[in-house]
């Protein structure tokens, strides 16, 4: 039991209190008892002393009476009155013997001892104790203790009357052992007759043993002190009274009354012992009682304490089951009420904190925590787990064009589909916006991939909103534990990276590859260098010519950015453009590219080379408000007419925020700039949407072009795209032409412009004029070659038409 607990404090307090009470009571009772005992035995001794005095006086009276009787005896008086000396002597002796007197004297009226039983026949002498006679004369009788002939005697004097006083009979009685014994029997006290002279005590008679008598005389103090002494050590303690009896000269006669204190205290000692036993017993009883009470009080408090500990640990689930009518019961009830309230609120807070209110799916926080837990358990069980990070492809478009309520509907529907599709164990969460995540706690890579596929499939089904089908797809990035990352944060980031790759590649899902990450790492270090590149003029513009297929002339080129790194050499755009797009630095790059391209265009125009220059704009560039003004300023500065500049925008570039893109494109078009849809065919832009845009040109994605020679489907796509473009009044550009066959095919298909390595890789501006002069042979392929190409690809009908 620790000393600072409530229980131990109560026990200590109660025990101390009771102990103090017990000790106090005992002390009081004991003191009172002892005092009472001392008073009692003191009183007893005082009573004894009084009894002794009374007895002594009675004894004297008795003796005096005996003497009086003797003095009254007629014959005795006759003998004395008639003065018969011998008769008188014999009468004194005879009558003295009757009362057991030690000595009998006859003193005449002149105070002379006429007869003395101890000195028969002696000459008369003056009586030694005249005061005794004087006292007897006035009181009728007198008694005193005196020493006569070295004997201590109690003397009694009475007159002899015949019938007038004719003298005094003085009778002496011995103060001896029988007297002491007689007085002891009456008083119950030890009686000693003692004389004192010059500080020396001498026992005359005593009821004490011889040893004790000697001790007494040895220990008695001086006479005066002895009269005040109440206790003497014999060596055991005796109560004591010294009663003065008389004195003769320097000699004092006293009676010493005494008794052992132990005798008197015996019964009180017994009482004290009983009191101690009683005290100890009740103390033990009270300690037991107080411990029981303390335990009784503190047990429910302990239970409360346990409950509070549980709650402190965050466990609000167990009710506090203490049902009592007292304060603790009320406290427990209140605490339980509080616990229930906290539990409920915690549940609500948890819901708010961990649940997405729109879809009722776990939110990012809950997903992260769940992921961390799952990683721990997966790590312990040596199993794999996978996470998907998923982004809806055309959500922004839906949200912007159809409104937030539709967007919300889409998100809810996506949530329902994911939830229905995935087993209960798999955690589906909405990370924010149109981003979802799935935690697949078990399974191998095969299962994970098939799951990803089924998700893609499920989300490809159009979502119905008020009878209108909405087409939203999804891109999924997959990261696996432990092969891709060991912690939750990195795992999510890697899945994110994989998701972006999937989106870029339009591959639906992508399993994370460490390579993506290293690219990212390089990107990070690139930021600083990219800034320097702009400032130090490390960037270059290369130009890739666009051949007009109908005439084999070159009237346009695409400006492509190149970075001549002072250390790394030529850095391919693929390494820094996505990064620049990601970080927003692309705006700076685009500004530089526009400025340089327009300047170059102006240079060439002044050299009478009218080359229309295409510049790539990213989705972010479209977000720049002052883009049209900027371009206008540059055109003016370099004296370039707007139609000489073509802005190439990818489908994804405007599908992110179609409404805004529309507005910007309208303004750019109003300036007179030409607009081109880059990488056409990879996105999911609807034709109806494209028709609204003020574009002049479609640029077929290189993926279709480079494969069309071998792939009939690709060929069909390319052809239909060309036809579609033409039918909408747009020029069609094919890029990625790598061989003469493709070149020939495109021409036969009626494509307007061609661009690719077969014609020319991108080249510095200064190389272009020279190339223009030396490339006629390439541009003008022999007709035979074109016919062959057509024949091989099974497009003979077309060739006939071309």
Of 78 and 792, which CB lies nearer to another protein in the complex structure? Answer: 78
Any contact of residue 162 with another protein (CB under 8 A)?
yes
Which tokens sit at 120? 């028969």
Of 61 and 108, which CB lies nearer to another protein in the complex structure? Answer: 108
Question: Which of 8, 22, 34, 72 contacts another protein by CB under 8 A?
Answer: 72
Give min distance, CB of 206 to another protein, in A: 41
Please say whether the beta carbons of 508 and 514 come within 8 A.
no
Please say whether the beta carbons of 132 and 157 come within 8 A.
yes
Any contact of residue 84 with another protein (CB under 8 A)?
no
What is the C-alpha to C-alpha distance for residues 798 and 640, in angstroms, rounded to an integer?
39
Using the rule CB under 8 A, give the single segment among 78-86, 403-411, 456-464, 644-652 that binds another protein.
78-86
Question: Which of 52, 55, 77, 146 contacts another protein by CB under 8 A?
Answer: 77
Of 25 and 162, which CB lies nearer to another protein in the complex structure? Answer: 162
Using the rule CB under 8 A, give the single segment among 162-170, 463-471, 565-573, 761-769 that binds another protein.
162-170
Using the rule CB under 8 A, give the single segment among 21-29, 72-80, 114-122, 495-503 that binds another protein.
72-80
Give min distance, CB of 126 to another protein, in A: 20
What is the C-alpha to C-alpha distance for residues 760 and 781, in angstroms, rounded to an integer?
14
DSSP 3-state assignment of 545? strand
Using the rule CB under 8 A, give the single segment among 157-165, 409-417, 699-707, 738-746 that binds another protein.
157-165
What is the C-alpha to C-alpha distance for residues 344 and 317, in angstroms, rounded to an integer?
10
Which tokens sit at 393? 């492809």
Question: Which of 1, 164, 228, 777 contacts another protein by CB under 8 A?
Answer: 164
What is the C-alpha to C-alpha distance for residues 231 and 237, in angstroms, rounded to an integer?
7
Question: Which of 18, 81, 449, 552 contacts another protein by CB under 8 A?
Answer: 81
For residue 484, give the nearest of 505, 515, 463 by alpha carbon: 515
User: Which helix or strand (DSSP H or E) is residue 589 part of?
Assistant: helix 586-606
Beta strand pairing status for 697-700 and 731-735? parallel
Angle between helices 6-72 and 85-98 (to 10 degrees): 150
What is the C-alpha to C-alpha distance for residues 253 and 194, in angstroms, rounded to an integer?
6
Which tokens sit at 795? 């497009």
Using the rule CB under 8 A, give the single segment among 126-134, 160-168, 500-508, 766-774 that binds another protein.
160-168
Using the rule CB under 8 A, give the single segment among 69-77, 384-392, 655-663, 706-714 that binds another protein.
69-77
Give min distance, CB of 223 to another protein, in A: 43
Question: Which of 161, 377, 525, 636 contacts another protein by CB under 8 A?
Answer: 161
Question: Which of 123, 150, 163, 535 contacts another protein by CB under 8 A?
Answer: 163
Alpha carbon 644 to chain centroid, angstroms: 73
Any contact of residue 74 with another protein (CB under 8 A)?
yes
Give min distance, CB of 142 to another protein, in A: 19
Q: How many CA atoms lie within 13 A of 491 on its CB side?
A: 26
Q: Between the CA of residue 548 and those of 362, 441, 645, 747, what are the distances in Å?
A: 56, 56, 16, 9
Using the rule CB under 8 A, give the single segment among 159-167, 382-390, 448-456, 635-643 that binds another protein.
159-167
25 Cβ contact partners less than 8 Å away, ≥ 6 residues apart = 279
Of 115 and 795, which CB lies nearer to another protein in the complex structure? Answer: 115
Give min distance, CB of 82 to another protein, in A: 6
Of 68 and 590, which CB lies nearer to another protein in the complex structure? Answer: 68
Any contact of residue 110 with another protein (CB under 8 A)?
no
Any contact of residue 209 with another protein (CB under 8 A)?
no
Give min distance, CB of 127 to another protein, in A: 19
Give min distance, CB of 83 to another protein, in A: 8
Of 82 and 716, which CB lies nearer to another protein in the complex structure? Answer: 82
Write out the DSSP string of 169-233. Answer: EEEEEE--HHHHHHHHHHHSSEEEEEEEETTEEEEEEESS-HHHHHHHHHH---HHHHHH--EEE
User: What's the farthest any 2 CA atoms get from each other in the chain?
Assistant: 215
Site for another protein in 278-337 (CB under 8 A): none
Please say whether the beta carbons of 462 and 471 come within 8 A.
yes
Instruction: Name the one residue in this structure whose structure tokens are 């809810």.
Output: 412
User: Which helix or strand (DSSP H or E) is residue 32 part of?
Assistant: helix 6-72
Give min distance, CB of 81 to another protein, in A: 3
Cα Rg, the chain, nearest whole Å: 70
DSSP 3-state assignment of 475? strand
Give min distance, CB of 104 to another protein, in A: 20
Of 161 and 551, which CB lies nearer to another protein in the complex structure? Answer: 161
Using the rule CB under 8 A, give the single segment among 155-163, 287-295, 311-319, 460-468 that binds another protein.
155-163
Any contact of residue 228 with another protein (CB under 8 A)?
no
Site for another protein in 567-606 (CB under 8 A): none
Question: Which of 24, 35, 46, 82 contacts another protein by CB under 8 A?
Answer: 82
The 474-481 sheet, strands edge to edge: 427-432, 435-440, 385-392, 474-481, 509-511
Of 80 and 768, which CB lies nearer to another protein in the complex structure? Answer: 80
Strand residues in 483-611 grouped as ranges (E)? 509-511, 539-548, 553-565, 569-571
Give min distance, CB of 70 to another protein, in A: 14
Of 78 and 326, which CB lies nearer to another protein in the complex structure? Answer: 78
# residues near another protein by CB under 8 A: 10
Give min distance, CB of 160 to another protein, in A: 11
Please say whether the beta carbons of 103 and 116 come within 8 A.
yes
Please say whether the beta carbons of 562 and 762 come within 8 A.
yes
Instruction: Name the one residue in this structure whose structure tokens are 């989106």.
Output: 503
Please say whether the beta carbons of 187 and 257 come within 8 A.
yes
Give min distance, CB of 134 to another protein, in A: 17
User: Which helix or strand (DSSP H or E) is residue 514 part of?
Assistant: helix 514-536
Any contact of residue 372 with another protein (CB under 8 A)?
no
Any contact of residue 78 with another protein (CB under 8 A)?
yes
Give min distance, CB of 166 to another protein, in A: 8
Instruction: Name the one residue in this structure whose structure tokens are 């200064």.
Output: 766
Give min distance, CB of 161 to another protein, in A: 6
Give min distance, CB of 235 to another protein, in A: 57
773 Cβ contact partners less than 8 Å away, ≥ 6 residues apart = none
Please say whether the beta carbons of 520 and 497 come within 8 A.
yes
Give min distance, CB of 33 to another protein, in A: 58
For residue 611, give the nearest of 592, 597, 621 by alpha carbon: 597
What is the C-alpha to C-alpha distance for residues 161 and 74, in angstroms, rounded to an integer?
10
**What does the H/E/C string look like for 642-662?**
HHHEEEEEEHHHHHCCHHHHH
Considering Cα of 44, then 45, then 50, then 54, what sign does the dihedral take? positive
Using the rule CB under 8 A, give the single segment among 73-81, 541-549, 563-571, 586-594 that binds another protein.
73-81
Any contact of residue 87 with another protein (CB under 8 A)?
no
Give min distance, CB of 180 to another protein, in A: 36
User: Which helix or strand (DSSP H or E) is residue 369 part of?
Assistant: helix 364-381
Using the rule CB under 8 A, give the single segment among 161-169, 172-180, 520-528, 615-623 that binds another protein.
161-169
For residue 770, give the nearest of 783, 785, 760, 780 by alpha carbon: 760
Using the rule CB under 8 A, give the single segment among 125-133, 158-166, 212-220, 686-694 that binds another protein.
158-166
Using the rule CB under 8 A, give the single segment among 75-83, 378-386, 531-539, 703-711 that binds another protein.
75-83
Instruction: Note the residues at the interface with another protein (CB under 8 A).
Output: 72, 74, 77-78, 81-82, 161-164
């Amino acid at each position: 039991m620790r000393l600072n607990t409530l229980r131990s404090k109560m026990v200590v307090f109660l025990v101390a209190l009771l102990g103090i009470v017990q000790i106090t009571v005992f002390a009081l009772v004991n003191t009172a008892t002892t005092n009472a005992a001392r008073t009692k035995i003191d009183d007893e001794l005082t009573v004894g002393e009084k009894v002794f005095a009374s007895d002594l006086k009675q004894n004297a009276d008795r003796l005096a009476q005996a003497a009086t009787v003797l003095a009254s005896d007629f014959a005795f008086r006759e003998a004395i009155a008639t003065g018969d000396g011998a008769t008188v002597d014999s009468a004194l002796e005879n009558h003295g013997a009757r009362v057991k007197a030690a000595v009998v004297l006859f003193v005449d009226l002149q105070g002379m001892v006429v007869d003395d039983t101890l000195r028969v026949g002696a000459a008369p002498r003056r009586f030694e104790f005249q005061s005794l006679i004087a006292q007897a004369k006035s009181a009728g009788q007198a008694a005193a203790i005196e020493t006569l002939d070295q004997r201590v005697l109690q003397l009694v004097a009475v007159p002899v009357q015949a019938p007038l006083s004719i003298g005094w009979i003085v009778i002496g009685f011995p103060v001896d052992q029988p007297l002491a014994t007689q007085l002891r029997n009456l008083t119950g006290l030890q009686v000693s007759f003692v004389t004192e002279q010059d500080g020396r005590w001498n026992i005359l008679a005593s009821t004490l043993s011889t040893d004790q008598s000697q001790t007494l005389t040895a220990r008695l103090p001086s006479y005066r002190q002895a009269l005040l002494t109440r206790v003497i050590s014999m060596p055991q303690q005796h109560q004591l009274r010294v009663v003065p009896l008389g004195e003769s000269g320097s000699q004092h006669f006293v009676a010493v009354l005494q008794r052992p204190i132990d005798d008197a205290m015996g019964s009180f000692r017994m009482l004290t012992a009983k009191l101690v036993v009683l005290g100890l017993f009740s103390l033990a009883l009270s300690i037991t009682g107080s411990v029981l009470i303390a335990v009784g009080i503190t047990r429910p408090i302990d239970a409360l304490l346990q409950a509070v500990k549980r709650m402190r640990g965050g466990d609000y689930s167990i009710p506090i089951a203490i049902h009592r009518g007292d304060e603790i019961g009320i406290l427990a009830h209140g605490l339980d009420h509080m616990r229930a309230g906290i539990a409920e609120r915690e549940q609500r807070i948890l819901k708010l904190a961990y649940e997405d209110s729109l879809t009722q799916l776990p939110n990012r926080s809950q997903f992260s925590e769940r992921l961390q837990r799952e990683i721990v358990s997966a790590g312990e069980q040596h199993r794999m787990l996978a996470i998907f990070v998923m982004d809806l492809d055309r959500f922004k478009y839906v949200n912007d064009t159809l409104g937030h309520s539709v967007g919300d509907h889409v998100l809810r529907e996506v949530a329902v589909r994911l939830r229905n599709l995935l087993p209960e164990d798999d955690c589906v969460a909405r990370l924010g916006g149109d981003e979802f995540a799935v935690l697949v706690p078990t399974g191998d890579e095969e299962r994970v991939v098939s799951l990803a596929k089924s998700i893609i499939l499920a989300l490809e089904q159009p979502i119905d909103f008020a009878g209108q089908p909405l087409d939203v797809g999804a891109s999924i990035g997959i990261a696996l534990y432990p092969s891709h990352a060991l912690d939750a944060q990195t795992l999510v980031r890697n899945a994110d990276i994989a998701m972006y790759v999937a989106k870029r590649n339009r591959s639906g899902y992508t399993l994370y590859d460490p390579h993506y990450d290293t690219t990212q790492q390089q990107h990070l270090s690139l930021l600083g260098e990219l800034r320097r590149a702009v400032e130090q003029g490390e960037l270059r513009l290369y130009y890739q010519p666009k051949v007009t297929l109908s005439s084999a002339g070159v009237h346009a080129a695409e400006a492509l950015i190149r970075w001549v790194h002072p250390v790394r050499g030529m850095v391919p755009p693929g390494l820094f453009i996505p990064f620049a797009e990601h970080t927003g630095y692309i705006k700076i790059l685009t500004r530089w590219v526009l400025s340089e391209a327009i300047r170059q265009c102006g240079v060439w125009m002044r050299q009478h080379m009218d080359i229309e220059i295409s510049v790539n704009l990213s989705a972010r560039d479209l977000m720049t408000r002052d883009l049209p003004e900027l371009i206008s300023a540059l055109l003016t500065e370099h004296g370039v007419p707007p139609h000489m500049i073509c802005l190439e925008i990818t489908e994804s570039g405007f599908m992110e925020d179609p409404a805004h893109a529309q507005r910007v494109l309208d303004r750019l078009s109003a300036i007179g700039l030409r607009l081109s849809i880059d990488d056409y065919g990879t996105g999911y832009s609807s034709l109806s949407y494209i028709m609204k845009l003020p574009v002049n040109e479609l640029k077929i994605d290189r993926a279709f072009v480079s494969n069309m020679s071998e792939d009939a489907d690709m060929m069909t796509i390319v052809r239909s795209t060309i036809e579609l473009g033409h039918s909408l009044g747009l020029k069609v550009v094919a890029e990625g032409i790598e061989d003469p066959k493709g070149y020939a095919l495109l021409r036969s298909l009626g494509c307007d412009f061609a661009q690719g390595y077969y014609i020319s890789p991108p080249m510095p501006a200064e190389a272009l004029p020279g190339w223009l002069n030396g490339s006629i042979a390439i541009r003008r392929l022999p007709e035979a070659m074109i016919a062959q190409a057509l024949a091989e690809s099974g497009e003979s009908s077309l060739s006939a038409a071309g």
